[in-house]
Amino acid sequence: MPPADDRTPNPYAGPVAWRSAANHNRMIDLVREGPQQSSGRVELAYFGSSAFRITSPSGLTVMIDPWRNHPLRHWDWYLRDMPMTPVDIGVSTHAHFDHDALNCLDAHVLLDRLIGTYNFLDVTITGIPDKHATQSGFGTYDFKMVHRELNGVEIEPPNNPRSWDNCLIVVETGGLRILHWGDNRHDAPDHVWEALGEIDIALLPVDGSQHVMSFEMTASIIDRLKPKVVVPHHYYIWDLTTRGSTLMPADGWVAAQPHRRHVEGPISSYRPDDLAAMATTVDFFGDHVAFDKLAWRQGGAR
């Protein structure tokens, strides 16, 4: 974890590739050999908070929105920072501490707040720029007021600071289009929806405190996108997230959805044929995450 004393240099602040004993020989081999499709399935693994690892049919891995505690240490959300995780490509939707811990990834490629398109092997990643959700009045706390009064910052667009921008991330692989919403506003302009196009799997922020957006806002996104699968994230997990985060579990929202599945573990996989005849279904990872939480809490991983 970062040191408690703000004045102490933190070796994990900023880019950490210079500290890594790994190299990008794997990527050199992939460039030379091209994609080696071993399965028609796309794997989705949940790492808690808003972090997901997508594995393409050829085995290329993409991690979106790794998390950490705020570097000033005034308000910890997690029991520890996310453990260092190897991945081929790391992506961050926006510059908030619970989404931008690219320093916690041992990655070959980092795409921070991607705008435009990146292609490699059987994966295409597109970033669509828009704005973070800022509407208040439905959640447990009025964060717009908190930022204005405590930080002297007005977060309302269009003149918001950069940390209140957001890039919607669409990953295309294995015949599927997977959308990571980040913390985007629900009422994005029409050109954003047109750029999103057809979405098969939507990863949406949902928690009982309605921290990012209200349940009605979430419903409006689902109604407009009509994805086959919705996966909630950004919710409280008792042995990962602190109570000080103000987040709450997503179980109540999940229970109210007409079609839902509780994933028995931290990983699920999908093929286009599996989704073709489905009504919109919520896949819920619950408290499952794709690393050893006990070892992490005890300090076995940073």
pLDDT on residue 12: 58
pLDDT digits (tens, 9 = 90+) for 39-72: 689 999 999 999 999 999 999 999 999 999 998 8
d(CA 251, CA 221) in angstroms, rounded, equals: 19
Q: What is the DSSP string of 199-232?
A: -SEEEEE--TT-SSS-HHHHHHHHHHH--SEEEE
d(CA 265, CA 202) in angstroms, rounded, equals: 19
**CA neighbor of 47 nearest in space, from 76, 85, 80:** 85
Terminal CA-CA length for the chain: 6
Beta strands in 215-302 (DSSP E): 229-233, 260-262, 267-270, 281-284
> In sequence order, what are the residues at sequence separation of 6 or more whose Cβ sits closer than 8 angstroms to the Cβ of residue 159?
none
> In sequence order, what are the residues at sequence separation of 6 or more whose Cβ sits closer than 8 angstroms to the Cβ of residue 298?
none
pLDDT on residue 37: 65
pLDDT on residue 132: 96
DSSP one-letter code for 78: B
Residues pairing with 170 in the sheet? 126, 179
pLDDT on residue 157: 87
Low-confidence ranges of the chain (pLDDT < 70): 1-14, 37-39, 136-137, 139-140, 300-302
pLDDT on residue 14: 66
pLDDT digits (tens, 9 = 90+) for 89-132: 999 999 999 999 999 999 999 999 999 999 999 999 999 999 99
> In sequence order, what are the residues at sequence separation of 6 or more whose Cβ sits closer than 8 angstroms to the Cβ of residue 13?
2, 71, 103
pLDDT on residue 9: 55
d(CA 193, CA 183) in angstroms, rounded, equals: 15
d(CA 182, CA 94) in angstroms, rounded, equals: 7
pLDDT on residue 254: 98
What domains appear along the chain, each with residue ranges and CATH number? 113-297 (3.60.15.10)
pLDDT on residue 153: 80
**CA neighbor of 234 nearest in space, from 54, 63, 78:** 78
pLDDT on residue 137: 64
The whole model's pTM is what? 0.92
Q: Which amino acid is at 230?
A: V
pLDDT on residue 250: 98
d(CA 145, CA 151) in angstroms, rounded, equals: 10
